[in-house]
Every structure is written in C-alpha cells, then in structure tokens.
Structure 1
Amino acid sequence: MRKLLVLTVCCILLLPVHALAQAQDDTLSESLQKEHQKADANERKVKELTQKAGQISTRLSDIEDDVKLLKRRVREQETVLADIRNNERQAEQDHFTLEKEKERITLELSGLMRTLWPVHLQNIRSRFEGVEDWAMFDRRFNWLADIYDATERKLDEARANSEKIALNLENQRQLAEEAEKQLDQVNQSKDGLLRNQYALRKNLKKINRQKENAEEELNGILSTIEDLKYQLQSQKTKRFALYKRTLPWPVNGRVEAGFNLKAKPPERGLAIAAADGSTVQSIFWGKVVHNDTLRGFGHVVIIYHGYNYYSLYAYLSDTFVRNGQEVEKNEPLGTVGFFPKLDGPGLYFELRFHQKPINPETWLTAQR
C-alpha cells in the first residue's frame, strides 16, 4: 500500500516537469521557425539586391558603351568640322588673293584706258589728220589695234576674276552653312554625351554611396562639361572676356552677401535678395549645360559662355529653358525661389573661369 502511494505521488510530481519541458520545446520551435522565416526573408532580400545590382551594373555598362560610342562620334564629327573650318580659311585666303588680283587688273586696265581714250577721241574727230603716207597710217592702225586687243584681254581677265570672286563668296557661304550644321550636330552629340555622363555619375554615386560636398559635386559637373570642349555659334563674334564690367545683372535685387574666398566658409558668389517671382536672366550669350537640382544649391541652371567661362543661377523655383538650348543675352531663364540663407526669395549667382570662381561684381555693370 505504501509503495502504491509513493508511486502515485511521484507521478503527480513528474507531471508539471514534463509539461514545462513541452512548453519550452514549443517556444524553442517557434523561435527557430521565426529565425528561419527571417533567414528566408533576408535571403530573398539578398537575391533582390543582387538582382538590382546586376540591373544597375548592366545599366552602367550600357551607359558606358553609349558614352564610348558618342565620344567616337564626337571625334569624327569634330574632324569633319575641322576640315570644313580649314576649307573656310582657305576660301578666305583665296578670296584675299583674288581681291589683290582684281586690284592689279583694275590698275592695268586703268592705264590702258588712259592711253587709249585720248587717241580714240582724236581718231573720232579726225581719222586721217596728220597721216603723211600709208605706212604711217598702217603703223597707227596696228598700234591702236594692239592697245584695243590688250584692253579687251584685260577686260576679259577682269570679268573672269569677278566670276571667280563671286564663286568664292558663294563657296564661303556654303561652307559657313555646312560648318553651322556640323557644329549643331557636334553639340547635339555632346548634349547626349553630357546626359549619359550625368546618368553615369548618379548611378555610380548610388552604388558607391559617395559623400561629396556641394563644391566637389559642382566641380565634377564643370569638369565633365569642360572635357566636352563645346563650340558655340556665338563664340564667332561674342567673346565673354571682352565684356568685363558691362554685363547685366542676372536679377533685380539687393546684394546681401558678396564674393569672399577668405570667409569661412568661402563665399564663391553673390547672394541677391529679390522680390518673389522675379525673373532671372542670362548675363551673356551661351548654352544651357545644366538644368537640374544640385545638392546645396536647389534647382540650378548653368550656362556655358565659351572659352571656359560659366555662369551659375541657383535656388530657382521655375525654369524656362532646357538642357542643350543656346540662349541670348538677357534671355529669361526662370524665376527666383526660396533662398535658405536669406530666409526668403532670392538668387545665388556665380561666375567661373574653368572651375575657379571669379568675382561677379568685377564683371557686372555698376549697380544703380
């Protein structure tokens, strides 16, 4: 009887321990299941990221191929353009030579006419006056005939020279048109190259998680543009360096912070307070090479003016131009937006030569 009682008590005491172990097993199983689920989720995420990385890598490869193709096309087009420019210069030299030839012919013809005209008038008045014999008449006739022939040959030479000059001028006109078309094609190719290189930079930044500051990013953009060596139609007649102290202000407003590279941080441009909605205009003829947001500058338009000069217009709310567009002096580019430094509407404006900032106030007209 005592043994049965002990056995019963033992069974009762062991029952909770078994239940507890079972509960612990269930908890552990649930934790393992959750960890497996997390591992599966992480594995899927890794696969997705790997797939995305592959897609980005493929995209980068495609862009790099496009860049190489466009660079080759630009080189070919610029070679054609250089040949056209050489032909233009040769045509101009030929024109100069023809003009000198024209001056020589005109001078010789004038001499012949001065000799011939008085004799011609005298013959009209008295055909045989002073003629003593037939031999004298024959000599005079032959002499006049020679002068007439020489004059006629010189007139023919003058006509041929005039025709050559006309053909040369037409050739120069056609070459100028051809050069303009070729330059447009070159710049269009460079526009595409610039877009691809921007896309390449953005994708590389995403992959490498580069931490550039605003100045480094801007210098990178200007370096990319400078490598393209754009040639502009306006460069033929309008050279930026010749317009120092005569350039218009980009916006009507008040300078709140001036150019000061020694400041900390350096002030590389002008902070101009302006009325809300004020129009921002290009200070010179040029080409829009950037119309997008730029870290530290808000929405930015950059104009290339030729010969490595640039102007930068930052914190715009709206823009009226597109990338690749050639703009006129005083052409509206957009409207001012919110300028954080001024805590209100305004424009941040820079001038750069190559990638180096230069003082805009020494280039703009004196403020009224």
Structure 2
Amino acid sequence: MKRIFFPLLLLLTLLPSAVSAQDEGEVLQRSLQQEHQKADEREMKVRELTRKAGQISTRLSDIEDDIKFLKRKIRSQEKILAKIKEDEHKARQDHFALEKEKQRISMELSGLMQTLWPVHLQNVRAKFEGIESWDMFDRRFNWLADIYKATSGKLEEAKVNSERISRNLERQRLLEKEAEDQLVQINRSKDHLLGNKYALRKNLNKIRKQRSTAESDLSEILVTIEELKYQLQSQKTKRFSLYKRSLPWPVDGKLVSGFNLRANPPIRGLAISTAQGADVRSVFWGKVVHNDTLRGFGHVVILYHGFDYYSLYAYLAETHVRNGQEVEKDEPLGVVGFYPKVDGPGLYFELRFHQKPINPKLWLTSLK
C-alpha cells in the first residue's frame, strides 16, 4: 500500500508545476507569434515606403530628363527664330535697296521724259517741218528711237523693280508671321519647362526636408547609443582607428555615388548598386545597436564598433541579426533591398565618428 501511495503522491506534487510550465510555454509561443506578426507588418510597411520612394525617384528622373529635352528643344527653336530674324533683316535691307533703285529709275525716267516729251510735241505740231535733208531726218529719227528705247527700258526696269518690291513685302509679311508662330512655340516650351522646374524644386525640397528629418532621427539614435557608453569585448584587442584603409567592403557591387559633404544635398555615405539578394556583411567587429526602420533609410542596421565609431547599412530587405548582438568582422547582417538612389537592389553605407559622418573611401581597402 505504501509503495503505491508514494509514487501517486509524487505525481500529484509534480503535476501543478508541469501544467504551469506548459502554460508558460504557450504564453511564450503566443508572444513570439505576435512579435513575428509585428515584424512582418513592419516589413510590409517598409517595402511599401521603399516602393513609393522608388516611384518618387523615378518621377524626379523623368522630370529631369524632360527638362533636358525641353532645354534642347528651346535652343533649337531659338536658333530657328534667330535665322528667321536674320532673313527678316536681310529682306528689309533688300527692300531699302529696291526702294533706292526705284528712286534712281524714277529720276532717270523723269529725265528721259523731260527730254523726249518736248521733242515729241514739237514733231506732232510741226509735222517734221524744218528738216532740210534726209540725213537730218534720219539722225532725228534715230535719236528719238534711242530715247524711246531707253524710256521703254526704264519703264520695264521700273516694272520689274515694282514686282520685286511687292514680292519682298510679301516675304517680310510671311517671315514676320513665321517669327510670331515660332515665338509662340518657344514660349509654350518655356512654360512647360518652368512648370517642370517648379515640380522638380517642390519634390527636391520635400526630399531635402525628409533627408533633414532622417538625419535628425539618425543623430538622435547615435546620441542615445553614445550615452549608454557601451564597452565591447572586441575593444580589448581590436581598435577601429587602427584599421584605416583595410576594412572590407560591406557588399559586392558597383559604386554609384561617393562621399561628398559639399554636394546639395550633402552625400554622407556610399551608394552601391548590387545584384538581387546580395549579402551585406559587417566591416568590423561590433555590436548591433539598431535593427529597425529609419525614416529616409528604409530598414537599417547600425553597428557600434567602440571608441565612438559606427557603421550604418541601409535599405535592407531582411536582416540576420538582433539588437544587442555582438558580431564578427565579415559576419552576414542581412540582404540588400530596393534602393531608390540606384533604382534597384543596392546598399547605402555610412561610417561615423560620434555623430559626424566620415569618408568610407578612406577606410575601405580599395575603391570600387
């Protein structure tokens, strides 16, 4: 009886703790499921924001291309207008020359008429009286014929001159109309260009504001981390400042834009275009102090390397690390995602000392 009673008693004693452990396991499982669900929702939100950023980047690129096209079009239109103006000027000069020619012809014709008309009247009245010989008649006849011929020639010349003046005035009218039409086209192109410039300026100001806000958010994060005064195990043997020009690249790819604080807006890191699904690796031993979305940077991992040095890896599609985790040099941190700057898969990478960005090109092994 005692042998049966003791195991039963022991079972009853252990049963509550077993049930309690099972309940705790279920609670933990539910909590993990909730966290995974939150992570998935956050990831979907990041992807959507990244997609929208890509659309904005594409729109800006389209506007910039349109502005370049319009500038070329306006230059071409203005060249045409300049040629029309040049033709107009030449037509006016030709008109002045024709008018001068007309005055000359009129004066010469007037002189001929003044000579011819009295003789003609005299001959009509006298019916060639006073002509003493045939030679005299022949000489007068030939003289009058020459004057008539010269007068007829001048009248024909005056007629041609008048026709040329008429054609010249019509050409001036057509050129003036063509110049007006061309000017209308130029102004339309300039209106379109002005609208695109306003749109580009508005979008750029919006993006600059977002960048400024993003930079402010990042600085606040780094200040918070710095205030914690992390002490890393790796600091005892590995000091970041001693590895200048020997750090590995965080990802295999092509460098699209480099560090340039004088640019507008300033470029504080490296933009690297990569293959789809490329692995992102730590450039140095450190601790994960941020693994979450950051406005303006997509999903970001920030590593603290000790002695106030940080590295930042932005626009990640997924990560393999967690906050607080210490990582090795070359350890995989995650996978690249869509990076609007390169219009495809890529990584934005920064190095910082305190909150100040430093040029990664001076720290990595060699330029891409």
Q: TM-score, normalised by structure 1?
A: 0.50
Shift of 1:15: 7.2
CA distance in 2, matches of 1:52, 1:31: 32
| Cα distance between partner residues in 2 of 1:199 and 1:27 | 53
Q: Within 5 Å, which residues of 2 pair with 1:256-271?
A: none
**What's the CA shift for 1:144?**
1.4
Matched pairs, number: 212
Aligned to 1:276: none
Where does residue 130 of structure 2 map in the other structure?
130
Pairing 1:197-276 to 2, within 5 Å after superposition: 197-209=197-209
Higher mean Cα deviation, 33-42 or 122-131? 33-42
In the alignment, what sits opposite 2:105?
105
**Mapping 1:1-368, distance limit 5 Å:** 25-209=25-209
User: What is the Cα deviation at residue 132 of structure 1?
Assistant: 2.3
Distance 2:151 2:71 in 1: 59
Residue 207 of structure 2 aligns to a residue whose secondary structure is helix
Q: CA 1:50–1:118 in 2, change beyond 3 Å: closer, same or farther?
A: same
The change in CA–CA distance for 1:59 and 1:211 in structure 2 (over 3 A counts) is closer
What's the % identity of the aligned pairs? Answer: 63
AA aligned opposite 2:102: K
Give 1:99 deviation, angstroms.
0.7
* Per-residue CA distance 1:281-320 (angstroms, 9 max, x = gap): xxxxxxxxxxxxxxxxxxxxxxxxxxxxxxxxxxxxxxxx
Q: 1:210 to 1:76 in 2, by over 3 A?
A: farther
Q: Secondary structure at the match of 2:111?
A: helix
Cα deviation, residue 117, structure 1: 1.3
- Structure 1 residues 19, 211: CA separation in 2 closer, same or farther (over 3 Å shift)? closer
Deviation at residue 44 of structure 1 after TM alignment: 0.7
Between the aligned partners of 1:144 and 1:45, the Cα distance in structure 2 is 106
Offset of residue 124 of structure 1: 1.1
Q: What is the CA-CA distance between 1:196 and the residue it aligns to?
A: 2.6
Shift of 1:103: 0.9
Deviations 1:319-348 (A, max 9, x none): xxxxxxxxxxxxxxxxxxxxxxxxxxxxxx
Bigger relative CO (Cα 8 Å, ≥ 6 apart) = 2
Q: Which amino acid aligns with 1:138?
A: D
Report the CA distance shift for 1:184/1:211 in structure 2 as closer, same or farther (over 3 A).
farther
TM value normalised by structure 2? 0.50
Corresponding position of 1:319: none
Separation in structure 2 between the aligned mates of residue 13 and residue 210 of structure 1, nearest angstrom: 62
RMSD between aligned residues: 3.2
Could you say which structure has the larger radius of gyration? 2
Match of 1:316 in 2: none
List runs of 5+ in structure 1 lacking aligned partners: 213-368
Q: Deviations over 1:116-174 (max 9, x none)?
A: 11111111111222222222222222221111111111111111100000010111111
